[in-house]
Structure 1
Amino acid sequence: MSGFSGTEPAPVTPQGRRGVVVRLARRAGWGVFDQALSSFGNLLLAVLVARAVDVHAFGAFTVAFSVYTIAVQVSRTLVSQPLAIRYAGVPVDEYRAASGLSTGTALAIGLAAAVPLAALGLLLGGTVGHALATVGLLLPGLLVHDAWRVAFTAHGRPDQAALIDGTWLLVQVGGVAGLLAVGIDSPVPYLLAWGLAATAAAALGVARGRVRPQVVRTWTWLSSHWDITRFLLFDAVLVQGAFQGALLLVGALGTLSAAGALRGAAVVLGPVSLLAMSAMSFSVPELARRRHMPARTRLAVASGIGALMGTASLAWGAVALLLPDQAGVFLLGDTWSGVEPVLLPTVIGQAANLFALGPVSMILAMAATRTVFRINSTLAVLLVVLGVGGVLTGGAVGAAYGFLIAYWLVMPLWFRSMWKLVRAGAADPVRPG
């Protein structure tokens, strides 16, 4: 039986509406569970490798894993997001065909990156080079696995995404446990266990989706969706680069401990970030498949999503702020002393960012990626300017308040832009012919 299923008709009876709510809640729950599996797998790998190898080897692992993170970001931008925006809610056969094109493109991206990465790794040699070459060779399976989990989620089957992620986690844990048992102290075997487990999960995705990745039609997919993906790609590079660049400048102009404190605060608020990723992966395709909702309903739904996420952020932030010092030291060690002063502005800033998640999801579901890029360009400038200005005037705490101001200044722009798009009756995200 296929992992894809037909889309449900819009019910009109109260019983039918209750059924839709139940199904939406079930899908949302599976989506959170799947994201938790994925994040936990990567976290578990990092913790176990850190305990098994020395500092130099773990640094090599970190470099290799960072390359994977960048590759996944690029792949999701070019492969998964257009699938979620333009094909959510289409008939099963059409979605299956689109999934074959998208996963084939992910495989092509992995193959294209594998050769130069493997060559660079062999050229560098040593622990770092070998780890880099290993990740390069594993990228095709890793990217196809990620593309399948997003494909199932976007079609309203996050339970199937959880199935392949659960398989990936179980196989990975088995392989890593075996390596630990024999005392392996090199990062390469652990990377192999992780990447080969992802490849096995990707194969399960192919079996459940009942369509093979269509590598030969990669250019068709890329060219058909370049009208929206070019803004998504620039947006991903710009915003992530701005935030990471701001942290680097905080470390350079302030102190390394200031940068570490800001990073530590992000770790404490990690569960809310996990919830936000789950909400985005769930809400964008769900909104896209309901593209004929009345304007008033669109505004109400987006505002409700933002209010829910902002409230969850503040609730978890309150828990973090009330955390006893002993618990903070247990979690972060000596870093906690620097994290505690920046926690309040970080919580308030994250709340603004998550309040905006509702309109961001709606704007993406309407395929208005140019709007997303324009607002995030403003955010990128503000993060750098206010973050650096903050650290020069008030150290880590000043930088945290700079980030807070940046997020709150941009938040109204999301709601204003969504309002204009919805009121103008923005065109449906018509799929290319």
Structure 2
Amino acid sequence: MGTRLAVFCSVADQGVAALTNIAVLVVAARLSSAAGFSVFSLVYTVFTVLLGLSVSYVGQALVLERGAWQGVRAACRSAVVFTGCASTAIGVPLAAALAFVPGDTARGLCALGAVLPIVLTQDGMRSCFSTLRLPHYALAADLVRLAAAVPALAAQPPDAGPARLVAVWGLSAVPALLVGAALLLPRLRGVPADPVRFLRRGHLGRRFVVEFAVGNGAGQLAVVGLGLFATPLAVGALRGATTLFGPMNVLFNACTVFGPPVLNRYRDASDKVRATALLAAALAVVAAAWATVLIFLPDRIGRELLGDTWAVSSALLPATGSQYAAMALGTCALLTLRVLRPRATLPLQVVFSLLSVACLLTGYAVGGVTGAAWGLCLGSGLKAGAAWTRTVVVRRSGSRSGNVPGGVRRWVTGRRAERPKS
């Protein structure tokens, strides 16, 4: 598959996954009471966190796998087995512990535990397809997921309980799981599975899990800070403005998940840096253009999207749009570092995620909600500047992790990689 088609399929797959999440929440909201939807949202948030941990620990390390093709296939097979076993080890005890606990929340989490192996394993196959340079297969499986999930939920009766909705949502992933398995397993036949490799010392996914935890922890801390020092309207305004930039999040996620295999098609580190620099500029332009569209959006349409929150969120769009342009630059810089020198990203994530929280709170103290939005923009800009500075330093130092194909593989597996034949 050509590079352009691979990029298109990767971005399209990320868009389908995001559309599925949005559609699931919309259908669930229409079927549920306010209280029922609150429980469903809580359970879905728990799943999102578990999914993020799974993608960080297994998926992000897997897409960096390089070396002999036989070893890459073995890593994919090991990842599927590990994800299935780990999700079962978490989901089954969760379901068993909450099976007889009263309350909608407990029943919803019990249902999540029961379907967790299905949904996490199905999603984990996306990383395998990306690693094997088969993003169109991931797109096909996720289209099946979308086609099955929405009708299955829509067929439920009004006021369906959150536990039932969670169970139906999880079971609707079975067709996509079967399609993914049918496409993936023939390409993994004959290679051994070694799921223990993901538990060995030096597994790169541990660092990515810390990065995920730090990033999400910083976001939660920001919400807590606004809850302590701001009004609920301020929190809603900031979240409303951020929600409008959901399409940009799809593009950023596509870069993070599917970018490394595409970049690894370039043998020279300079070409990789040049490619991500061009991508960063393109994404920044897209973010600015999307912000312009939102700023000039008629109030009638804005109220259809956000209701009463539009009145206060619309004032934050210039700051939030600038923040997303800065995030485009930072995302591509971190993507470059993840390919050239994966260990370089964690310090940046820790320092500048906390700095963003400080900028947010300082901005609110100085200029209210608008100041908080510009504070987030400043934090994202500082992070992007530091990440690109680090990228230049790594490139000039002639990092072996960017030039020796076995470098990343050695960090991921904890074993010295086989040098590819010249």
Whether the TM-score (by the shorter chain) exceeds 0.5 is yes
Deviation of 1:318 after TM superposition, in Å, equals: 1.0
One-letter amino acid of the counterpart of residue 115, structure 1: V
In structure 1, C-alpha distance between the alignment counterparts of 2:43 and 2:192, rounded to whole Å = 25
- Report the counterpart of residue 393 of structure 1 in structure 2: 366
- Report the counterpart of residue 115 of structure 1 in structure 2: 92
Q: Please show how residues 187-202 of structure 1 align to structure 2 within 5 Å.
A: 187-202=162-177
Deviation of 1:86 after TM superposition, in Å, equals: 1.7
Q: Please show how residues 359-378 of structure 1 align to structure 2 within 5 Å.
A: 359-366=333-340, 368-378=341-351
Give the length in aligned residue pairs.
404
Query: Are 1:208 and 2:183 matched, yes or no?
Result: yes
Q: Please show how residues 76-95 of structure 1 align to structure 2 within 5 Å.
A: 76-87=55-66, 90-91=68-69, 93-95=70-72
Deviates more, 1:295-304 or 1:138-147: 295-304
8 A Cα contact 1:68 1:135, kept in partner: yes
Q: Please show how residues 93-132 of structure 1 align to structure 2 within 5 Å.
A: 93-122=70-99, 124-132=101-109
Cα distance per residue 1:133-185 (max 9 Å; x no partner) = 00111111111111101211232211100111111112222322321xx4352
SS in 2 for 1:431: helix
1:73 to 40, 48, 52: 52
One-letter amino acid of the counterpart of residue 243, structure 1: G
Q: What TM-score does the superposition give when structure 1 sets the normalisation length?
A: 0.88
- Report the counterpart of residue 327 of structure 1 in structure 2: 301
Cα distance per residue 1:7-54 (max 9 Å; x no partner) = x7xxxxxxxxxxxxxx21211111122111111111111111111111
8 A Cα contact 1:231 1:373, kept in partner: yes
Query: Are 1:174 and 2:151 matched, yes or no?
Result: yes
- Report the counterpart of residue 419 of structure 2 in structure 1: none
8 A Cα contact 1:304 1:358, kept in partner: no
In structure 1, C-alpha distance between the alignment counterparts of 2:332 and 2:161, rounded to whole Å = 44
Deviation of 1:289 after TM superposition, in Å, equals: 4.1
8 A Cα contact 2:141 2:176, kept in partner: yes
Deviates more, 1:191-200 or 1:405-414: 191-200
- Report the counterpart of residue 237 of structure 1 in structure 2: 213
Cα distance per residue 1:88-140 (max 9 Å; x no partner) = x752x433321110111111221121134224433542111111000111111
One-letter amino acid of the counterpart of residue 412, structure 1: G
Cα distance per residue 1:180-219 (max 9 Å; x no partner) = xx4352122222222112233223222211148x998432
8 A Cα contact 2:352 2:379, kept in partner: yes
Query: Are 1:409 and 2:386 matched, yes or no?
Result: no
- Report the counterpart of residue 262 of structure 1 in structure 2: 238
Deviation of 1:273 after TM superposition, in Å, equals: 1.2
In structure 2, C-alpha distance between the alignment counterparts of 1:341 and 1:350, rounded to whole Å = 16
Deviation of 1:319 after TM superposition, in Å, equals: 0.8
In structure 2, C-alpha distance between the alignment counterparts of 1:323 and 1:336, rounded to whole Å = 11
8 A Cα contact 1:387 1:399, kept in partner: yes
SS in 2 for 1:323: coil
1:218 to 195, 202, 217: 195
- Report the counterpart of residue 17 of structure 1 in structure 2: none
What's the % identity of the aligned pairs?
26
One-letter amino acid of the counterpart of residue 410, structure 1: K
RMSD of equivalent CA atoms: 2.1
8 A Cα contact 1:96 1:209, kept in partner: no
In structure 2, C-alpha distance between the alignment counterparts of 1:302 and 1:344, rounded to whole Å = 25
Q: What TM-score does the superposition give when structure 2 sets the normalisation length?
A: 0.90
8 A Cα contact 1:349 1:408, kept in partner: yes
SS in 1 for 2:99: helix
Query: Are 1:159 and 2:133 matched, yes or no?
Result: no
8 A Cα contact 2:74 2:194, kept in partner: no
Structure 1: gaps spanning 5 or more residues? 1-7, 9-22
SS in 1 for 2:262: helix
8 A Cα contact 1:285 1:365, kept in partner: no
- Report the counterpart of residue 5 of structure 1 in structure 2: none
8 A Cα contact 1:108 1:215, kept in partner: no
Structure 2: gaps spanning 5 or more residues? 416-422
Query: Are 1:349 and 2:323 matched, yes or no?
Result: yes
8 A Cα contact 1:78 1:222, kept in partner: no
Query: Are 1:32 and 2:11 matched, yes or no?
Result: yes
In structure 2, C-alpha distance between the alignment counterparts of 1:232 and 1:363, rounded to whole Å = 13
- Report the counterpart of residue 431 of structure 1 in structure 2: 409
Cα distance per residue 1:296-335 (max 9 Å; x no partner) = 3233222111111111111111111111111111100001
Query: Are 1:302 and 2:280 matched, yes or no?
Result: no
One-letter amino acid of the counterpart of residue 158, structure 2: G
One-letter amino acid of the counterpart of residue 401, structure 1: W
In structure 2, C-alpha distance between the alignment counterparts of 1:57 and 1:123, rounded to whole Å = 19
8 A Cα contact 1:86 1:288, kept in partner: no
Deviation of 1:224 after TM superposition, in Å, equals: 6.0
